[in-house]
Structure 1
């Protein structure tokens, strides 16, 4: 029968304990509002602030545009009249005008006042000409009828300005004109109330459109936040489903974003917890199962012990043997539990030829057999020499247990594959009774025995008895720790 152990690759670094002190974490104080509502609230708040800033900016720009247009209309009208007054001639005499009234009448007859604009020609104390309806933005107000305001405008030393009237803000400009012995004043004014009203209508429309957009944004934010937080809700749901005896629940992972990574990390944590729980439970089950028999044997013999020295000596020898077997079982189980840890194997470069020679020397002490080193691989391999030695010596002990004295036990090593995928194979071959195919499939499990374990004592080597069935499980654990495998050929 040939048993092989193959493996390659360094051991992984130990994983630090995230909570070495075993402390109990307490929830920190926070908002009672759910994360979904907080996300929606912040999105709506920032969007609302942006829209408010937009409305204020648009309103300010539109109002500034109305004021600028009113000023431009006044300036344009003054410039046009100044040009006209300097060049105009009476069509009847082909000479410059000698009457201010005629000059103003001629100019105003050629003008069309725009909405909110008023053009007045004033001579003496009377308003002689009105270039438009004179209404500004208020149907009940006429600038031509406001004699006090007209008098103030004529006496104002400034050529232009802003006045508040019953029709709202008025931007005005004036030009003093003389013709012959007469003088007069051209006053042009632009009322901004109509423009302001249009601005307010525009801002109102924008406001309601923005409000509708804000509500739509809130709805979209609610749906998107729910979709983003769905894995977190799944984590919470799975956490509530997990019990101390059932760690199989997992969070469904969708997508590749950060929240999906959180779900994957949570599932990995559950895998580690479940693996640790299963390992602990298996250890307890195995220990209770295997230790029950020697405890029963010890108790039964101690209950029947008598005063006969020979009987007492035999009983104590049997008890000592069973206690030794119990100690060996516990030691093997603890080793298998330790094999689940990432630091079980500590790999380092090892010369394979030196390792094989050392193994042959150590195996000589296992029993009176002809130990034959058949093949030796050369070169360095990253492995844990102590664990490999433990595994190979266990295979050698099995060979001694089920082979007669002076029989051949062959060992060797060889490489399989090439390049970075090359693996080292170490094998032990004996002439034992072998195992069936069914046994070969499970012989490396814990507490599994081949049919050879039931052989009569006269067909086993002297002083050997069947073990607990943990030796080959340890061999496989060591092989697994090296990213390799263990198998048997019969």
Structure 2
């Protein structure tokens, strides 16, 4: 039954990887960064060119409109103030008026000034025009456009012709019979101005194209430089294995990429320490379990038929099995210390908890037990775990003292912290041991009393319980000689009360 199951599930696990990986490898981060950069640059440059073109066209329209209004106002002023040079009086003939005005004008190359005469509703004829025309398709030759302008009731407008549009302004001349209707017309051909705007727009597009090409090269180089640490991280991660975790990413600069490299290096440091601790833990655990197993195997192999010898062998085997059982239980406890439910807090009276620990510890050995102090405060702790840690510290004190020596147990409150301590008058802890005694499978070198049978996990369990409460365990010297182990807990007080010190 199991073989078909394996053949059915294997393809489902491998199919997504083979289909998605080539796409991810082809569209690299460097290319995506470059494409986004080019897209943003293209949109920005296109927007600049388009806005510039719109501004230039709007300015051209304003300039042409202003010019038309100016010419119309000049003619209106001439009509109001003009004098016939031959008679010295006012000019009543529209044709004469247009002739005198146009003779004095010098239009631009894209401008036409003309006078139109005719009957309203009919095709007009050009009475006069100023100077020689220099545009390719002058308005004066377009009868349809002239008729449209002459008939229009507006003062300004645009004539849309098949060759080019023409902007115009008109001033009608008030006349009476026998003179015909007349109008002064100024026309501007915007084709040249529009060509200039088009040239500027084309130049902007060309400059934008060159800028995009330069951006492509610069962006490719800059993206490669920025992503270099990322490639190093990927390469380093691909080359890492359980046997070699020593490689690190060189950190340069102080930007986000440098922070990423530092974070990756920190992760590698933690992984290296974790693997080293795991290997050391496995080696130490194997060593600690190998000894009792060897003892059990050896005694069982040498066990004879003598009842007394068999009884002694069974006793030794049971003792070693009990020691192995304690080692396994301690290892399981330390493994559980990594779980969030390792500590289950509940309100407790610190004084009662201290007294309970003292009563239990007195049964560990014949020592001069003292309840040095009990703080009167309500705390939020896991009473069973705290009791377990304190009893372990008391057991540790018994192993390092001899009958009759003092061991003190107490608790106190100081500056918002709660301290539970076990102090002995033993030989103390050697400085070289102070750094390692809280590690797993580590023991101090100074021992008194009976031979210790522990595996070196007791103080590691105490440390795990303290850290589970958000605190720590400290080693301090005892006045007069010895060692004091202190559980320092913070943020466990329920309310602030006085501390009562009771000397027994």
Normalising to structure 1: TM-score of the pair? 0.75
- Give the CA RMSD over aligned residues: 4.1
For residues 152-190 of structure 1, the C-alpha deviation after alignment (integer angstroms, 9 at most, x for no partner) is: 468755666544568632233555655874545544321
Question: What is the match of residue 13 of structure 1?
Answer: none
Determine which of 421, 427, 431 is the counterpart of 1:426: 421
Q: Is 1:93 the counterpart of 2:91 in the alignment? A: no
Question: What is the match of residue 167 of structure 2?
Answer: 171
Shift of the alpha carbon at 1:268? 5.8
Determine which of 279, 287, 290 is the counterpart of 1:289: 287
Distance 1:286 1:151 in 2: 109
Determine which of 186, 189, 214 is the counterpart of 2:187: 189
Q: Is 1:486 the counterpart of 2:481 in the alignment? A: no
Count of aligned positions: 453
Determine which of 324, 328, 331 is the counterpart of 1:330: 328
Shift of the alpha carbon at 1:117? 0.8
For residues 242-269 of structure 1, the C-alpha deviation after alignment (integer angstroms, 9 at most, x for no partner) is: 2123445555667887666655665565
SS of the residue corresponding to residue 94 of structure 1 reads: coil
For residues 180-209 of structure 1, the C-alpha deviation after alignment (integer angstroms, 9 at most, x for no partner) is: 745455443211111112212222333344
Distance 2:248 2:14 in 1: 24
Question: Contact between 2:158 and 2:167, CA under 8 Å: does it hold in 1?
Answer: yes
Question: Contact between 1:479 and 1:486, CA under 8 Å: does it hold in 2?
Answer: no
Question: What is the match of residue 495 of structure 2?
Answer: none
Question: What is the match of residue 353 of structure 2?
Answer: 355
Distance 2:324 2:407 in 1: 31
Distance 1:436 1:89 in 2: 125
Structure 2 stretches of 5 or more lacking a match?
A: 1-12, 119-123, 483-504
Question: What is the match of residue 43 of structure 2?
Answer: 49
Question: What is the match of residue 129 of structure 1?
Answer: 128
Structure 1 stretches of 5 or more lacking a match?
A: 1-22
Greater relative contact order structure (CA < 8 Å, 6+ sep): 1
Distance 2:445 2:52 in 1: 93
Question: Contact between 1:174 and 1:186, CA under 8 Å: does it hold in 2?
Answer: yes
Shift of the alpha carbon at 1:292? 1.5
Normalising to structure 2: TM-score of the pair? 0.73
SS of the residue corresponding to residue 484 of structure 1 reads: strand
Distance 1:393 1:332 in 2: 14
Distance 2:146 2:437 in 1: 120
SS of the residue corresponding to residue 424 of structure 1 reads: strand
For residues 418-475 of structure 1, the C-alpha deviation after alignment (integer angstroms, 9 at most, x for no partner) is: 424x452512324x5666555566554444455565x7xxxx55xx654333334434
Q: CA 1:286 to 1:261, structure 2 compared with 1: closer, same or farther past 3 Å? A: same
Q: CA 1:343 to 1:225, structure 2 compared with 1: closer, same or farther past 3 Å? A: farther
SS of the residue corresponding to residue 132 of structure 1 reads: coil
The correspondence of residues 232-271 of structure 1 with structure 2, limited to 5 A, is 232-249=230-247, 266=264, 270=268
Q: CA 1:271 to 1:72, structure 2 compared with 1: closer, same or farther past 3 Å? A: same
The correspondence of residues 6-45 of structure 1 with structure 2, limited to 5 A, is 32-45=26-39
Q: Is 1:373 the counterpart of 2:367 in the alignment? A: no
Q: CA 1:485 to 1:248, structure 2 compared with 1: closer, same or farther past 3 Å? A: farther
SS of the residue corresponding to residue 92 of structure 1 reads: coil
For residues 196-247 of structure 1, the C-alpha deviation after alignment (integer angstroms, 9 at most, x for no partner) is: 1221222233334444554565566556655665554454244224212344
Distance 2:15 2:261 in 1: 21
Question: What is the match of residue 501 of structure 2?
Answer: none
Question: What is the match of residue 454 of structure 2?
Answer: 467
